[in-house]
Amino acid sequence: MTEHPGKPAGLVDPRAIDLFEFARSGRQAAGAVRVSQLPRMLNEVPQEAPDRDTAFTWQAEGTTQPELQDDGTEGPQPYLRLAIHGAAWLECQRCLSPYEQAFNVDATYRIVNTEEEAEEFPLDEDEVDVIVGSRQFDLVDLIEEELLLSLPLVPKHDVCPEVHESLTSGTAGLEGEDAEGEAEEGEEPKRPNPFAALEGLKSGGSDDKKH
């Protein structure tokens, strides 16, 4: 897809990149961003995590590709490739303790000028997303968005070190079950099972046969 070899971007402010020039010049940039710089991502990190402020490394490359334009002529279409690597602590939904989740993102974006153009782009493209470019583009915001999209649906350990006590039958739960059992033996149940009468007939028939 690259029309020309990538060129170093020099000093780049990742929160204010001229994305069109970045792609047109085939520039590259790299850096690191900490979770503390990503407020929405920080909300996903449990308070008791060993390290709430882990870092992600990122690499960005701008490219262009000759494509047919709306006016029928061929022109350079800008693209951005973004790779993100790192890890953050999340809360395991199985044992409720923190665990370290790895993130590895490699995404390619078609850069368009307006929201209207983005909406017109076909949604069946599996490999390319669409972003609206600008001359003050916030790459850190895009990094955070990709990390949030990469969050597991159900965060959990591969193998939990232990199961949280609230997810198992504790002593209180057993006592509660016994209490319910005693109540059922001593009095009529408040909500009889509609199949209880049938079971009673079956057991009664068995007893008759024995006698």
> Does the pLDDT value for residue 80 go beyond 90?
yes
| CB proximity list for 51: less than 8 A, separation 6 or greater | 89
To the question of pTM greater than 0.85 for the whole model, the response is: no
**Per DSSP, what are the bridge partners of residue 84?**
58, 105
Segment 10-34 shows an average pLDDT of 94
Question: What pLDDT digit, counting tens, does each position of 122-172 carry?
Answer: 766 667 899 999 999 999 999 999 999 999 999 999 999 876 566 555 444
What does the domain layout of the chain look like in residue ranges?
Answer: 7-149, 169-210
Taking phi first (over 0 means left), then psi (-120 to 50 degrees means alpha), and beta for anything else, what does residue 96 get? left
Residue of higher predicted confidence among 5 and 62: 62
End-to-end CA distance of the chain: 88
Over 80: is that where the pLDDT of 31 sits?
yes
